[in-house]
Amino acid sequence: MGKAKLPVNGGSGYYEIRLESIGGLGANLCGKMLGELGVKYLGLNSSSFSSYGSEKTGTPVKGFIRYCDKDREIRVHSPVISPNLLVVFHQALLKDESVLEGCGENTEIIIGLDGGGDNIMGRIPTGIKACYVVNAQQIAMETHSRINVVMLGAMAKVMGFAELEDVNQICEDTLGKKYPDALQGNLEGIRRGYEEIRELAGSVSEYSPGPEGKACKGHKSGEDASGWGYGTAPIGGINPNFGSSVVSDLSPSRQGYIPVFIKERCINCGLCDSTCPDMVFQFAPGKYKDREMMVNKGLDYYHCKGCLRCVEVCPVNALVRGLEAEHPHKEYFLPNQDLVRTPDYYVETGADGYITSESFLTEKRMGGGEV
């Protein structure tokens, strides 16, 4: 057991890690392994806990890990707000800016890519210490491991105070007995994560500007460490996170795959529509083989969480599994016009927007009209 030298910075005296992930990628287990790693092999005190919802594949999962020297007690048990290390398991999560909450000059960020090149789907805040990427999904597929172990290896490299052997050991302790057949693949995933992580070329700021050339709001170092809060939330307290009914965009919950629609093959049987849990398919009256019928016009990918059940049921392979990164411009992407997608969608109608509203009736009464 070694005694790790922690690169803690001033204030808290802890080295803090936040994992941003989605259900199915193994972030919860990864957090537990990191916690045990600190105590068993790094000679540190550590704490680890996760927050997650229904644990369904695709739902948001966060992990919080704190390290400190052995002679100190960890008295803080709240979520990590300003991490030393932020680990984004899949780059699609960057679409939700709150994932980057609290990043500052001491924060290093690791982003898991999915093998579709170095294009980052979201924005990276300015003023952070460094940003790294690793092709986590591709490595996981090639080594028959999971994204969590690849990220674990990558984290060890960036943290700098955990040796690769220590991480291998904790992996063996955790998975060796339970899944002995998968151990070798997982160790290989850790090794490749450790060796293949790379710092983003050029300065981080090259990747930072949004569409208007501005850095991410609320994530500049020092200025506003807390990011989202009552002062920065949209008027009305609307939840801007992905998956909320207002934004109606489940795309960050996908793990890299989407159903690709090959319309020429479609026989409009409707099986995909009855299987899909999220109303993705857009059927409308049309013609198929000269007959009037409901036809499959396309998919509303905002609502697709990438479970690929539709691919399994399609009898003619009109839906096939595709890597999302290889289909940036989705053919047959047909947003469902009946559903609210962005707050801009709302039309300001005033108090008498509804014909039956009290204010409308009052106005009519005042105007002498009949109610």
Q: Which of 188, 219, 296, 298 binds ligand SF4 (CB under 6 A)?
A: 296
**Of these, 41, 108, 305, 324, which contacts ligand SF4 (CB under 6 A)?**
305
Count Cβ atoms below 10 Å from residue 341 Cβ, excluding itself.
Answer: 16
How many residues touch ligand SF4 under the rule CB under 6 A: the total is: 26
Q: Which window, 66-74, 119-127, 286-294, 308-316, contacts ligand SF4 (CB under 6 A)? A: 308-316
Contact 101, 81 (CB under 8 A): yes
Establish if 319 lies at the interface with ligand SF4 (CB under 6 A). yes
Decide if residue 307 touches ligand SF4 (CB under 6 A).
Answer: yes
Q: Does 280 bind ligand SF4 (CB under 6 A)?
A: yes
Do the strands 257-261 and 198-199 form a parallel or antiparallel pair, or are they unpaired? unpaired
Q: On the CB side of 183, how many CA atoms lie within 13 Å of its CA?
A: 15
Which CB atom, from 323 or from 361, has the smaller least distance to ligand SF4?
323
Q: Which is nearer to ligand SF4, 136 or 307 (CB)?
A: 307
The nearer residue to ligand SF4, 57 or 241, going by C-beta atoms, is 57
Q: Which of 42, 86, 308, 325 binds ligand SF4 (CB under 6 A)?
A: 308
Out of 37, 80, 304, 325, the only residue in the binding site for ligand SF4 (CB under 6 A) is: 304
The angle, 0 to 180 degrees and rounded to 10, between the axes of the packed helices 136-143 and 147-159 is 120
Pairing of strands 85-88, 198-199: unpaired
Least distance from ligand SF4 to the Cβ atom of residue 285, Å: 15
**What's the 3-state SS for 9-73?**
CCCCCCEEEEEEEECCCCHHHHHHHHHHHHHHHCCEEEEEEEEECCCCCCCEEEEEEEEEECCCC
Phi, psi of 91 (to 5 degrees): -60, -25
Q: Which residues bind ligand SF4 (CB under 6 A)?
A: 259, 266-272, 275-276, 278, 280, 296, 299, 304-310, 313-314, 316, 318-319
